[in-house]
Structure 1
């Protein structure tokens, strides 16, 4: 699905303290004939000392449906989190969603579905403006391809 080096990320996480937080988020960008997704894993060392970022890009056919594209972002983040669960070992883990809880924003169309999906996997969803791994880190990476 995505080309993150899970073993490398797990090794890094296992060498951090239990106070470390892990934030996972995805974002996407439309091009004429494709959609590019980026998934970022932000490891916030001791939850106060800076961070290490791992990321992966994925190119797919163009996804015209906003709902489908946003849910694909959520799915990529959940997939990544589930592949890292065995090394979390009590550390804080959040799935950062690039979705706005305000109904005036287009991304709001999938908020309920996305939250339900993330919660059903036993994970904690975080929306804008607190979802920095998605709307800040992943967005930055997309803009600097």
Structure 2
């Protein structure tokens, strides 16, 4: 995965590859006796001619809170809502794919969350089947709204 600029929620920039940061986190959390689950999701917001994307890696300590890492990017490419939803999924999968080996080695469950509504009355629903197929086809656990909190809550707060 190309070097992306990641940060913590408090704004602290991660100065090394995210793979190295995640490996350190997994070792530290395991040593502290925490059981982890990781959820990866992306949300976007159209702001004038730009679309801002935020991808998050959310670490959940079972019964003990959690924390996350954030990557933002913007584009001026015009997209339909379906294209934008699938771009969000693509960004999440890129990160999940880059990190999945680590999660396997450290026996950590991972889910990919899509900010796509399961209700057919919403426009984002047009991308549901493709997103589900894309994520599950890559071998990842898929979650959509209302269970996709990494994208629909965590990443959403970053792009608002």
Normalized against structure 2, the TM-score is what?
Answer: 0.83
Matches within 5 A, 1:42-53: 42-45=58-61, 47-53=62-68
Q: In 2, are the aligned partners of 1:32 and 1:62 still within 8 Å (CA)?
A: no
Please, what is the CA RMSD of the aligned residues?
Answer: 1.5
Give the CA deviation at 1:34.
1.1
Matches within 5 A, 1:125-144: 125-143=142-160
Structure 2, unaligned stretches of length 5 or more?
A: 7-16
CA change 1:36–1:135 in 2 (3 A) is same
Structure 1, unaligned stretches of length 5 or more?
A: none
Give the CA deviation at 1:19.
2.5
CA change 1:14–1:87 in 2 (3 A) is farther
1:63-102 superposed Cα distances (whole Å, 9 cap, x missing partner): 3311111100000001111111121032110001101111
Q: Residue 41 of structure 2 is aligned with which of 19, 25, 30?
A: 25
Q: In 2, are the aligned partners of 1:13 and 1:43 still within 8 Å (CA)?
A: no
Runs of 4+ in 1 over 6 A off after TM superposition: none
2:50 counterpart residue number: 34
> 1: CA distance between counterparts of 2:152 and 2:127?
16
> 2: CA distance between counterparts of 1:133 and 1:10?
20
Local SS of the residue matching 1:16: helix
Q: In 2, are the aligned partners of 1:10 and 1:84 still within 8 Å (CA)?
A: no
Matches within 5 A, 1:1-145: 2-4=4-6, 5-6=17-18, 7-17=20-30, 19-45=35-61, 47-88=62-103, 89-143=106-160
> 1: CA distance between counterparts of 2:26 and 2:39?
12
> 2: CA distance between counterparts of 1:106 and 1:14?
41
> 1: CA distance between counterparts of 2:46 and 2:77?
7
Equivalent pairs, count: 142
